[in-house]
């Protein structure tokens, strides 16, 4: 860790401890005590990482950036899969989120089955809340089946469904048996189930694993077969990563879940390696695939050209085949000149600028590499809903405290499949890789990658976001749509790192080039200096009252 020097643009000299104190100053003592544990001044400790409080309830009254459990399940994990009818069981207000979700792109494929443009909802009314909604749900499933004859129908519970106790699992089971050619299952992902959308990821992944993975044993062609876990094709990121895989000769059996289809999930157990991109949303699936089918997993990152090259090399090293190793090197050599040229172009204007990143559960970390390529420093960052392992690394997992909220989320017990468990490498081969420094199941988290003296803040809220910007004056602030306009009003450019505004892809080599140009335009635009009207800066008129 190097020490970060924050460019002081204000007359006041802000030290991290002072910034932290200032963020907490207005809170009542109890709130301040709780928030203090989620605001960490990074320090370089020997052999350990500073501890942060994460994945705990947001204090009522605070305007959090988080979403709900239903959003994490329906929107994040299941949203990008094109050929599963996603039926929301709930009032129409929640079903706004049934119709598209985020900017996850899709290719309708040869069969053309793509239900993403539709909004499926049971549209619960007062009478359904009073007398129960199961009959209405059954009718809605039947209607979707008759209209589309999909491969699969997924049902999502919103808060009222859990409160009135509709048994959605029995309904879906009955319908599945009735249809015979359509897999129907449900998710108890009521918004209140967990402290954030993170609980929804877990609920979604459990059901995908239980109901879909392993349904298709057909062996797909390809020499180097992987799954890409935790890549959601926002702004076309997944398309760019797939382009690179294809060029390298790597076969992507299933992406969980960007641009995915039912059959991809069903075949995932036939791959030979799981590459995990977003650790937060999907590390459980990687573990379950390993336990049940014997597929090892590694952490990858395709955000930044350097990280992309590193991840490709890591995949090639796993397969340990000279043909693939050479091909990967050739692809990197072919792609890098365009990246280097773009970097050379922007660097004189971006170098030394500062960024703040407050996004989800993985991007606040991944994007720091991309900013670093542009010579930009991340002075403060944090996740909305990640857990301590995403901050401090996976070694803290055994010590994580199980509280009432985490106990609420089902942990499914997975065992080795009696017929289909097959270690992908012999114990000797695995040992040789590990001895050569190869890391399986490894994620070190965000904190060790950040400089000493930077501020790591979990579940940042609207008040703190504005305060932080006021105090530290970053050159760019990255978060989501809820934060965008309040930050811009402070005269600081704001880039959405959830939806990418209207841009992207930013992953892979072409994505890096896109990002360099876009950030260069944002941080060097003069428009931000015009945020204050001239009379706010230098009052031109003065007057006195008549009676004075
Ligand atoms: Fe993973 Fe995501 Fe993220 Fe996430 Fe998300 Fe997203 Fe995100 Mo928005 S799965 S944790 S729940 S990388 S929708 S594609 S951008 S908050 S940092």
Kindly report, residue by residue over 5-48, the tens digit of the pLDDT. Answer: 544 444 345 799 999 999 999 999 999 999 999 999 999 888 88
Q: Is 234 in the pocket of ligand 1 (CB under 6 A)?
A: yes
Written as six digits, the tokens of 24 are: 């907490």
Contact 191, 123 (CB under 8 A): no
- Host H or E run for residue 120: strand 120-121
Q: Is 65 in the pocket of ligand 1 (CB under 6 A)?
A: no
Q: Is 365 in the pocket of ligand 1 (CB under 6 A)?
A: no
- The mean per-residue pLDDT over the stretch 138-153 comes to 98
pLDDT over threshold 90, residue 530 = no
CA 61 to chain centre: 25
- 94: DSSP letter: G
Half-sphere exposure of 215 (CA within 13 A, CB side): 17
Can you tell me the distance from the alpha carbon of 125 to that of 157, in angstroms, rounded to the nearest whole number?
A: 15
Q: In what order do the strands lie in the sheet with 152-157?
A: 120-121, 84-89, 152-157, 183-187
Is residue 137 classed as helix, strand or coil in its secondary structure?
helix
Tell me, in angstroms, the distance from the centre of ligand 1 to residue 479's CA.
11
102 belongs to the catalytic site: yes
71 belongs to the catalytic site: yes
Listed in sequence order, the DSSP H helices in 82-189 are 126-131, 134-148, 159-164, 168-179
Q: Where does residue 543 rank: exposed (0-12), middle (13-18), buried (19+ CB within 10 A)?
A: exposed
Looking from the CA of residue 198, the nearest atom of ligand 1 is 11
424 belongs to the catalytic site: no
Q: Is the dihedral of CA 52, 58, 61, 66 positive or negative?
A: positive
pLDDT over threshold 60, residue 4 = no
Q: In what order do the strands lie in the sheet with 250-257?
A: 250-257, 224-231, 273-276, 297-299
Give the model confidence (pLDDT) of 211-238 as tens digits: 999 999 999 999 999 999 999 999 999 9
pLDDT over threshold 60, residue 1 = no
Q: Is 362 in the pocket of ligand 1 (CB under 6 A)?
A: yes
User: Which of 35, 66, 68, 103 is labelled catalytic?
Assistant: 68
Q: Is 200 in the pocket of ligand 1 (CB under 6 A)?
A: no
The whole-number pLDDT of residue 17 equals 96
Contacts of 239 (CB under 8 A, 6+ apart): 105, 107, 233, 259, 505
User: Which of 35, 102, 151, 363 is labelled catalytic?
Assistant: 102
Give the model confidence (pLDDT) of 493-510 as tens digits: 999 999 999 999 999 999
The whole-number pLDDT of residue 424 equals 97
Please state whether the peptide bond connecting residue 272 to the residue before it is cis, i.e. omega within 30 degrees of 0.
no
Q: What is the pTM of this model?
A: 0.94
Q: Is 505 in the pocket of ligand 1 (CB under 6 A)?
A: no
202 belongs to the catalytic site: no
Tell me, in angstroms, the distance from the centre of ligand 1 to residue 232's CA.
8
User: Which of 35, 54, 66, 71 is labelled catalytic?
Assistant: 71
The whole-number pLDDT of residue 12 equals 46
Distances (CA, A) of 363 to 62, 129, 378: 23, 39, 13
Can you tell me the distance from the alpha carbon of 493 to that of 477, in angstroms, rounded to the nearest whole number?
A: 6
What's the 3-state SS for 19-40? HHHHHHCCCCHHHHHHHHCCEE
In the structure, what pLDDT confidence band is assigned to residue 536 with cuts at 50, 70 and 90? confident
The whole-number pLDDT of residue 546 equals 85
Angle between helices 279-293 and 197-211 (to 10 degrees): 20
Average pLDDT, the chain: 95
Half-sphere exposure of 160 (CA within 13 A, CB side): 21
């Amino acid at each position: 860790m190097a020490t970060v020097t924050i460019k002081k643009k204000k007359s006041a000299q802000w030290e991290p401890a002072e910034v932290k104190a200032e963020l907490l100053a207005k809170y009542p003592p109890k709130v301040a005590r709780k928030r203090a544990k989620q605001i960490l001044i990074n320090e370089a400790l020997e052999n350990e990482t500073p501890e942060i409080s994460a994945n705990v309830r947001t204090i009522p009254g605070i305007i959090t950036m988080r979403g709900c459990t239903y959003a994490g399940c329906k929107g994040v994990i299941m949203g990008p899969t094109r050929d599963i009818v996603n039926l929301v069981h709930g009032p129409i207000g929640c079903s706004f989120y049934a119709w598209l979700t985020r900017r996850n792109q899709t290719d309708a494929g040869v069969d053309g089955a793509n239900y993403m443009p539709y909004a499926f909802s049971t549209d619960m009314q007062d009478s359904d809340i009073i007398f129960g909604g199961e009959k209405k749900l059954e009718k809605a499933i039947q209607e979707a089946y008759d209209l589309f004859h999909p491969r699969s129908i997924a049902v999502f519970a919103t808060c009222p469904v859990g409160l009135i106790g509709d048994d959605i699992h029995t309904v879906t089971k009955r319908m599945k048996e009735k249809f015979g050619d359509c897999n129907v299952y449900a998710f108890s992902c009521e918004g209140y189930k967990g402290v954030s959308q993170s609980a929804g990821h877990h609920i979604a992944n459990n059901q995908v694993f239980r109901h879909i993975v392993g349904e298709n044993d057909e062996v797909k062609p390809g020499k180097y077969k992987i799954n890409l876990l935790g890549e959601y094709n926002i702004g076309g990121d997944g398309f760019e990563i797939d382009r690179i895989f294809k060029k390298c000769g790597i076969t992507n059996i299933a992406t969980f879940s960007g641009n995915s289809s039912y059959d991809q999930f069903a075949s995932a157990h036939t791959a030979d390696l799981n590459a995990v991109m977003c650790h937060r949303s999907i590390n459980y699936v990687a573990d379950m695939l390993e336990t049940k089918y014997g597929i090892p997993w590694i952490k990858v990152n395709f955000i930044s050209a350097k990280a992309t090259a590193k991840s490709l090399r890591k995949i090639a090293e796993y397969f340990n085949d000279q043909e693939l190793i050479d091909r990967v090197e050739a692809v990197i050599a072919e792609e890098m000149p365009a990246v280097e040229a773009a970097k050379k172009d922007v660097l004189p204007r971006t170098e030394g600028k500062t960024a703040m990143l407050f996004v989800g559960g993985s991007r606040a970390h991944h994007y720091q590499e991309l900013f670093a390529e542009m010579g930009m420093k991340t002075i403060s960052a944090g996740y909305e809903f990640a857990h301590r392992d995403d901050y401090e690394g996976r070694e803290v997992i055994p010590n994580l405290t199980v509280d009432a909220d985490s106990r609420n989320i089902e942990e499914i017990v997975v065992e080795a499949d009696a017929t289909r468990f097959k270690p992908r490498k012999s114990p000797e081969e695995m040992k040789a890789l590990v001895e050569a420094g190869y890391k399986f199941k490894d994620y070190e988290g965000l904190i060790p990658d950040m400089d000493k003296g930077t501020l790591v803040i979990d579940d940042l809220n609207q008040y703190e976001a504005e305060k932080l910007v006021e105090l530290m004056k970053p050159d760019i602030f990255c978060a989501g749509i809820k934060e965008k306009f309040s930050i811009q009003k402070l005269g600081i450019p704001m880039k959405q790192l959830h939806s990418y505004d209207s841009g992207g892809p930013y992953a892979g080599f072409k994505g890096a080039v896109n990002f360099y140009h876009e950030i260069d335009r944002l941080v060097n635009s003069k428009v931000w200096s015009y945020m204050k009207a001239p009379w706010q800066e230098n009052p031109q008129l003065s007057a006195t009252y008549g009676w004075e």
